[in-house]
Amino acid sequence: MADLKNKTAVITGAGSGIGRAIAQCLAGAGARVLVLDIDGERAAAVAGEIVAADGSALALAADVSRAADCQAGIETAVRTWGGVDVLVNNAGIIRRADAVSTTEEEWDLVMAVNVRSVFLMCKYAIPVMSAGTGGAIVNTASGWGLKGGPNAISYCASKGAVVNMTRALAIDHGPQGIRVNAVCPGDTDTPMLREEARQLGIDAGQFLAEAADRPLGRMGSPREIAQAVLWLASDASSYVTGTAIPVDGGGIA
């Protein structure tokens, strides 16, 4: 069974969607959860939901593309609960455009949020984990980190980077007792998926129907992605590191 009792988890992009579900899921397994999100009000709402369900949580507004905010997040967890056992790098954005239509500013923003944040959060969390008994890092990548997709060059590039960063981190920090893995969600019923439809100028209903075109015949739910994260974050997956696991209803297949 996945058990995180007496563990401290830091989760980025936890104010909505998959991140919110991960925060709730890990808290339900006993973790003390630091909810990080660029939207402080949403972060506070998620932390409040966890506390109302008799869990332990704290919220912090953070732009995880900035080193100071990442460092502050880790320091807050250490100051509040004495360490960091689990880090979930979930913050992410998407810009649906091809290379010609993508601006330099959009490219830089996607890379900052989706890639730099993973590097920065690991930079500050790993010394804390290695000073203790190790830990588990789970990065939210994407099915499009394993294969290409249309009109999403910056997103595909960023999630491909997350997948290979996961492997590199696992190699470097396995000797310190730190496991590093990634989940690669397929289309999941979140506000971000509806935002994609808006960016592409496609009717949301049509877009969501097309997203269900996979062997299981439906989109995923945030809770289903969160369950995979919980497994990777817990000792139930104690011999698993350096992997990128599709959680996509068979989409990659």
Which residues are designated catalytic? 155
Mapped onto helix, strand or coil, the DSSP state of residue 182 is strand
Name 8's bridge partners: 32
The alpha-helical segments, DSSP class H, found in the chain are 17-28, 40-52, 67-81, 104-111, 117-131, 153-173, 191-200, 204-211, 222-233
Nearest C-alpha neighbor of 72 from the set 88, 61, 86, 85: 61
Nearest alpha-carbon partner for 110 in 91, 88, 94, 90: 94
Amino acid at 102: T
Rg (CA), the chain: 17
- Rounded CA gap, 176 and 159, in Å? 25
Gap between the Cα atoms of 155 and 136, Å rounded? 25
Residue carrying the six token digits 């809770």: 223
Give the closest residue to 92 by CA, choosing from 117, 72, 67: 117
Helical axes 204-211 vs 191-200, angle rounded to 10°: 120
